[in-house]
Structure 1
Amino acid sequence: MEKSSKYRNLAVRIKCINIGGSGFLFQPNTTDYSYVITAKHCLEGTEETPQCFGKKDIEIYSYIRNIELTVLDYYFHPDKEVDLVVIKIEYLEDIPGTLVTLPKEDKPVGIFGYPNVIDDNTGTIKKGQYVGCTSYFIYPETNEFEVNPNGEISNVNTVGETLVGLSGSGIFLESDQELYLMGIFIELKEVKGSFYALMGYNINVINQILNNNNLELLIPGELLDFQKYIETAFESNEGSIESVLKRCAKSIIDLSPNDIVVSHNEKLYLPYNKFVEEELLNSQLWEGWVSLLTYYYMDTSQLPKKEEFILKRNNTIKQQHNIKMFFTKHKKLSTCVMDLFSNNYDDLESNDLIVINTKNSSPGTKSYNKDSTKNVLREIDKGKKEKIYEETGIDIDDPDISKDVEFIHINLFQDEFAEYRNLNVKKELEIKLKEKIKEVFNSVP
């Protein structure tokens, strides 16, 4: 979905007796209801113009759908000073999936809503208004942050007059046509708009309301279970291999992508990426994890603990080693070897088996055993080696520096399974697949 279309699909207009404003939709992991999130003053007014209201007074319009939404209930923050409200509405089927992220400084963000200055009589208001901004300053102690518009807001009215009605809009980080909910626009930092500073709450404040009322938190359904990824993870396998693997994958159903996110965070990716949310809706990332967890269970009959998510197994000499997985834009396994040893050497442990899942590609070489890994390290240019030594004290030319780490690509298993594509007896096939998985884990080619 294009960025402009997603903004319009998420934005709603709020009316409540004599007051109004903007808001945005979010679909939690349920089909029982959806959320509209907005500023509390869009319902109860300001100190200068307070009003009493009830559920029947709240009108919410989605102009792109040309419908009025049905309000079920609404919830304030336990701290009465927090200008925020979550409105529960009847389930709306087509809300775009949206990831949430904590504020980050100096990032492109956008606000889209329905400021009062746009003419309501001609219907222009239904088009809404976009304001491109840059995140500027973060106040973690109060869960607030500040953004600044990228251009002049108005040369006719004051900034304050121009932005009336836009409060309650979502503030979204923009990256490669994707939107990530960063928070909600509440008010100007200064009432007349001095310094062009707009204030917002981050998503933690929204989740505080939801948690206080035992409602589903702002976590997309795509991160709450593996079922949809199990359906597609093995579809490139021939013959009966796909169905056998899908059946075995049912063993991982109590785990979730969010368990991995919480445990691994920036280390989901190579290079490490503090913008963790960037690829979290990429199905290829989770199909890779479904595959690895399934193979791990078929080999060990074990699953990792949710709170740690560490994959350990014994190799052929009863020596325990870790299996670690990374999702990367690198095209070649050798680049991954150099990246990890150059930038994250301290995170490598003796005899680690590193599993690589490449985005939109599959490398020609899908494995590096201990000797091959050492050969790759020798190819790092001298200038880079010297810089690594100066910064970390690590001598890449030391023969013991490799820690006997090995690398495989997740698709290596699929390639190795191919010899059984004509085997149709399911029980026999499962035994053969388990033997092949153990062979790959124990003896990296």
Structure 2
Amino acid sequence: MNQDQYFENIVTINGGSGVIVNSLTSDYSYIYTAKHVICIDNEDIHSDLLPIRDLIVRDYNNEPIEILEILVNSSNSLDIAILRTSKQINSDVVISRKIISSSEKVRFCGYPGRSRDAPVILNRYRNHSYEFDVKYTEHIKLKTSMNIEFSWIVGMSGGGVFTDGDGVVLRAIETKYSGSKNEYDGCVVAVNINKFDDIIHHINESRSEKLSIVLPVELQSFQTLENLAFKFSDGWDQPALLNSIRKLLICIGQTKVTAIGITPITVKEELEHILECEFYENFEVNEPKYWAAFFELIVISVMVDEPETFDKTYLSNILNKRRIIYINSNKTWQKHLLSILDNEYINHDENGFFIVKTNSPSQRVKYNSGAISHMYINQVTNSGDDYNIDNVQNNKNLKKTLIDLDALNNKCIYDQQEELESFNIVTGSEHIKDKIKSNYSKYLII
């Protein structure tokens, strides 16, 4: 492990440390840290914050970093805070909101207090190997993989907890050592990185000019999302064939998005005016599951449309007629029907489709009609653990078509298993693709 891998992304903040994180703006960076580091009384996170003029923030070259704003969630008692810088600072850090789990190895990095005034050399910076110990309601405890002196921990509050491997993948921020100075057990307490999202979301609720969000590492590439795409339930007589069909679908997407270097981030940056909703702040577009569903939409659309050219113009055209909506909720998307049907989405064809992905695929929609394409929905009832859509009927005058993505995939793949099983995946892959294309075309051609 080369400690330089993390070194240039760690800063000193008064008596503590911090991590430089970049968001979707070139105007500024964020520094994630522990709140007590910037409190007047650093033993009490509820004490007043230091004024910005008293914050001494320095990078790895000991150069000062100007801070414009301190960001904290006043409704949350977690020991975390974000500093917003006056300009963007180079950072290799990417965010992973995957929760640190049992026995997982991580790397804790920061600047210990006793060497803070030493010359700018690598030995004033420390990184130590830790692993998960126990999870509490709002934080986790990490235990050291080797004996670490107490003096090498003091001053590292606000330091980063990274995935112990290739890449600078930030998972948590350390807030304090475990126990007292006299009873130091080598453990530290850390807060998972997703809690920092809450600070930005909380502040954006009261601002007209929103703070930029930080995307997770999973959105650096569609390939990192493939394990979330085309998740079919078990039950096929030939599960190996079902898995081969899933790989076939993913390969179609890989061939297209990789060829022109499209990533979730580039789509979000360049097509955000299409992805936006007029009637609510759509934080769901920052979720990996949203982009996994988006990847599925690319695959399905490419099969159905067979475009001569796959580029960003084609992607824009997809969104104009097939808008993907991800509902990050433990309830099914039917709870959002009125919002979907009563409000207009930006740049959406009047005869276009809403393709909706729920966060609870186990709660399948039960349709009273065999058709899932042109639907008119005027009542949703809760029957046990399932949601039934009553009075579903074909309505050729309906301007918006509403489709559940899981139901669509099951209808076009899972429900067609007997026909698909009649082909050999090796010698009949083209026949299988043609059959799948025909299945999806029934529902997605305007």
TM-score band (shorter)?
Answer: 0.5 to 0.7
Residue 21 of structure 2 aligns with which residue? 26
- Equivalent position to 1:104, from 98, 101, 106: 101
CA shift at 1:24, angstroms?
A: 0.5
Report Cα offsets for 1:40-93 as digits up to 9, x if no partner.
2222243499897321121211115x5321110112331574322211102325
Residue 73 of structure 2 aligns with which residue? 77
1:295 has 2:295 as partner: no
Task: Indicate how the Cα distance of structure 1 residues 199 and 408 shifts in structure 2: closer, same or farther if over 3 A, else same.
Answer: farther
Task: Indicate how the Cα distance of structure 1 residues 252 and 87 shifts in structure 2: closer, same or farther if over 3 A, else same.
Answer: closer
Residue 250 of structure 2 aligns with which residue? none
TM-score, scaled relative to structure 1: 0.54
Task: Indicate how the Cα distance of structure 1 residues 293 and 95 shifts in structure 2: closer, same or farther if over 3 A, else same.
Answer: farther
The whole-number CA distance in structure 1 between the counterparts of 2:323 and 2:49 is: 54
The whole-number CA distance in structure 2 between the counterparts of 1:77 and 1:63 is: 28
CA shift at 1:129, angstroms?
A: 0.7
Task: Indicate how the Cα distance of structure 1 residues 439 and 350 shifts in structure 2: closer, same or farther if over 3 A, else same.
Answer: closer
Count the aligned residue pairs.
302
CA shift at 1:225, angstroms?
A: 11
Residues 3 and 179, structure 1, Cα contact 8 Å, conserved in 2: no
The whole-number CA distance in structure 1 between the counterparts of 2:134 and 2:114 is: 27
Amino acid of the residue matched to residue 135 of structure 1? F
The whole-number CA distance in structure 1 between the counterparts of 2:411 and 2:274 is: 29
Residue 280 of structure 1 aligns with which residue? none
CA shift at 1:170, angstroms?
A: 1.4
Task: Indicate how the Cα distance of structure 1 residues 95 and 136 shifts in structure 2: closer, same or farther if over 3 A, else same.
Answer: same
The whole-number CA distance in structure 2 between the counterparts of 1:162 and 1:224 is: 34
Residue 56 of structure 1 aligns with which residue? 53
Residue 421 of structure 2 aligns with which residue? 370
Residues 131 and 144, structure 2, Cα contact 8 Å, conserved in 1: yes
1:178 has 2:164 as partner: no
Report Cα offsets for 1:179-229 as digits up to 9, x if no partner.
432221111120125332211122243222222221334424983999xxx
Amino acid of the residue matched to residue 176 of structure 2? E
Residues 33 and 92, structure 1, Cα contact 8 Å, conserved in 2: yes
The whole-number CA distance in structure 2 between the counterparts of 1:225 and 1:253 is: 20
Residues 23 and 36, structure 1, Cα contact 8 Å, conserved in 2: yes
CA shift at 1:258, angstroms?
A: 6.4
TM-score, scaled relative to structure 2: 0.54
Amino acid of the residue matched to residue 371 of structure 1? S
Task: Indicate how the Cα distance of structure 1 residues 224 and 90 shifts in structure 2: closer, same or farther if over 3 A, else same.
Answer: farther
Map of 1:85-96 to 2, 5 A cutoff?
Answer: 85-96=81-92
The whole-number CA distance in structure 2 between the counterparts of 1:121 and 1:261 is: 42
The whole-number CA distance in structure 1 between the counterparts of 2:158 and 2:82 is: 11
Residue 13 of structure 2 aligns with which residue? 14
The whole-number CA distance in structure 2 between the counterparts of 1:55 and 1:251 is: 33
CA shift at 1:408, angstroms?
A: 6.5
Residues 20 and 91, structure 2, Cα contact 8 Å, conserved in 1: yes
The whole-number CA distance in structure 1 between the counterparts of 2:372 and 2:82 is: 49
The whole-number CA distance in structure 2 between the counterparts of 1:5 and 1:13 is: 16
Residue 117 of structure 1 aligns with which residue? 114
The whole-number CA distance in structure 1 between the counterparts of 2:122 and 2:77 is: 30
Aligned to 1:196, the other structure's residue is in SS state: coil
Report Cα offsets for 1:252-284 as digits up to 9, x if no partner.
95289964955479xx6xxxxxxxxxxxxxxxx
Residues 118 and 124, structure 1, Cα contact 8 Å, conserved in 2: no
Task: Indicate how the Cα distance of structure 1 residues 31 and 52 shifts in structure 2: closer, same or farther if over 3 A, else same.
Answer: closer
The whole-number CA distance in structure 2 between the counterparts of 1:201 and 1:185 is: 6
The whole-number CA distance in structure 2 between the counterparts of 1:52 and 1:257 is: 29
CA shift at 1:250, angstroms?
A: 7.3
Residues 225 and 257, structure 1, Cα contact 8 Å, conserved in 2: no
Residues 172 and 183, structure 1, Cα contact 8 Å, conserved in 2: yes
- Equivalent position to 1:200, from 187, 190, 213: 190
Q: Which runs of 5+ in 2 are unaligned?
A: 205-210, 223-252, 261-266, 277-281, 307-317, 328-332, 334-355, 359-369, 374-405
Report Cα offsets for 1:14-57 as digits up to 9, x if no partner.
12xxxx11110111222232111112222224349989732112
Residues 224 and 258, structure 1, Cα contact 8 Å, conserved in 2: no
The whole-number CA distance in structure 1 between the counterparts of 2:175 and 2:272 is: 45
Residues 106 and 134, structure 1, Cα contact 8 Å, conserved in 2: yes
The whole-number CA distance in structure 2 between the counterparts of 1:46 and 1:294 is: 55
The whole-number CA distance in structure 2 between the counterparts of 1:179 and 1:166 is: 18
1:305 has 2:294 as partner: no
Residues 12 and 25, structure 1, Cα contact 8 Å, conserved in 2: yes
Map of 1:35-434 to 2, 5 A cutoff?
Answer: 35-44=30-39, 45-47=41-43, 53-63=50-60, 67-79=63-75, 81-101=77-97, 102-118=99-115, 120-124=117-121, 127-140=124-137, 143-154=138-149, 159=150, 161-174=151-164, 176-192=165-181, 193-214=183-204, 215-220=211-216, 223=219, 233=256, 236=259, 254=275, 259=285, 261=287, 263=289, 291-292=298-299, 294-295=301-302, 298=305, 301-307=321-327, 309-310=356-357, 352-353=412-413, 369-372=420-423
CA shift at 1:437, angstroms?
A: 9.5
Task: Indicate how the Cα distance of structure 1 residues 39 and 442 shifts in structure 2: closer, same or farther if over 3 A, else same.
Answer: closer
Aligned to 2:197, the other structure's residue is in SS state: helix
Amino acid of the residue matched to residue 90 of structure 1? S
The whole-number CA distance in structure 1 between the counterparts of 2:289 and 2:30 is: 28
CA shift at 1:310, angstroms?
A: 4.7
Aligned to 1:168, the other structure's residue is in SS state: coil
- Identity rate, percent: 19
Report Cα offsets for 1:101-149 as digits up to 9, x if no partner.
2232211111111102236334346751111100111113xx1100011
Amino acid of the residue matched to residue 18 of structure 2? G
Residues 252 and 293, structure 1, Cα contact 8 Å, conserved in 2: no
Residues 76 and 86, structure 1, Cα contact 8 Å, conserved in 2: yes
The whole-number CA distance in structure 1 between the counterparts of 2:410 and 2:203 is: 47
Task: Indicate how the Cα distance of structure 1 residues 98 and 178 shifts in structure 2: closer, same or farther if over 3 A, else same.
Answer: same
